[in-house]
Each structure stands twice: as structure tokens, then as C-alpha cells.
Amino acid sequence: MLPSAVIFDLDGTVIADEDEYGEAFGKVLKGLGVKVSSEYPHTGGIGVKENWPLLLKKYKIKTEKSIEELTKETQDAYLATLSQVEVKPGFQDFVGELKKEGILTALATSNAWWMTETILEKLDLEKFFDCITTGEEVAFKKPDPDIFLITADKVGVERKDCVVIEDSRAGVQAAHKAGMKVIGVFRNKSHSEELKEAELLVEDFRHLGIRDIKSL
């Protein structure tokens, strides 16, 4: 049975910007005197601002900079690389398939509205979504389900009739807590392990079609 709506995450799902955000966090951490060995020092899906208390604790960082300042530095570092960011292969065609079936499409991102707006405008993506929900609209971000519950209400669809497409474990958990099926978009084998709770895993939208959505 086809869902009434498909809800997309943005960063790492619709767009391939995992490396750029990893680089941005790494750059700010380096400025704080931290040597980072991982390409992705942050926790995906929970939001940039929400990452910084975790990183300060993890690396035992002492700084006079506020969480807001560190967040802004990270977002600025990311924006400096935005020209390198591309839409995941097959996204436009997949949305076209959904629209032909009368399925609504929505965006639910933990990112801030000003960042989301900048990204959507730069990559000409806003036209693909019937509604957009950002991190400012919820009291608790992923892995809490709030962002998906609000998005379902916005498009006027029962929660059980929504399918979520995500690239983070926090996002998969949030969708399941909201009572929704999840498709995980992975970048490599180890990342696919993080998303193993999803009902279906794909590398990108070229490997996803109406038949797959219907079989969930």
C-alpha cells in the first residue's frame, strides 16, 4: 500500500553534505586545540547546536566561547564549502514518481531555518516539498519524534500513512517513535550498520522507486 506522504531529512539524505559538515566541525575543533581523527566527529541528525555540548564534554574542551558562537562558526565553515554540495543522485526523478502517484512530499530537518533556506535556495530544492519543518519548531530534536509528528500534522496525513527517508540513527529512531516506516540512505558499509533499524536501506534515490515504497 502506498503512503500518503514521504518525509525527507535534508543533510546527508537529500543532499550529499556529510563530508562538508564533518570538515566544518573538524575545523572548529582544530581551532580549539583538538586533534580529530574521524572524518565525522559529530553525531548526525541531532542538529549543529545540540552537538557542541557533547563535543565539549567528549574532548574535555575548556573555552570561553558560547555554544551559540561555536554553532555559528561551524555553520559559517560549512557555508564556505556549500558550492561543493550536490543533490543526491536520482532525487528529482524519485520525487517526480511520488507526485505522479499523488503522494505528498515534506522536509523535516534539525537544521536552523536560515541555514535550510540558504541551502534550498542555492540548490533550487524548495519546489520539491509541500511543507518544510525545521529544528526551531520543536522542543526536542531527533531522536525524539516531535519533528515528524509536526510535519505529519502540517500535511494533514495520519502518522501511520507517512514514510520517512533518513541518513542518521537518530532520525531512524525518531521516525519509529512517531509510528512511521523508515528508509535509510547510507554512504558506506559501516554507515549502513548505523541505520540497520530502518525497514529498507539504499545508497541513493537511483535505487528507490514506487515499488519499494509500496512494499514497506
Question: What is the fold, at CATH topology level, of the domain defined by 5-17+85-214?
Answer: Rossmann fold (3.40.50)
Residues with Cβ within 8 Å of 101's Cβ and at least 6 positions away in sequence, in order, are 2, 210
Residue range 18-83 in CATH 2.60.40:
no
Tens of pLDDT along 2-53? 999 999 999 999 999 999 999 999 999 999 999 888 888 998 889 999 999 9
Tens of pLDDT along 116-160? 999 999 999 999 999 999 999 999 999 999 999 999 999 999 999
Residue ranges of the chain assigned to CATH 3.40.50.1000 = 5-17+85-214
pTM of the complete model beyond 0.75: yes
Residue ranges of the chain assigned to CATH 1.10.150 = 18-83
Render 117-181 in DSSP notation, one character per residue: HHHHHHHT-GGG-SEEE-GGG-SS-TTSSHHHHHHHHHHT--GGGEEEEESSHHHHHHHHHTT-E
Q: Residue 66: how many CA atoms within 13 Å on its side-chain side?
A: 3
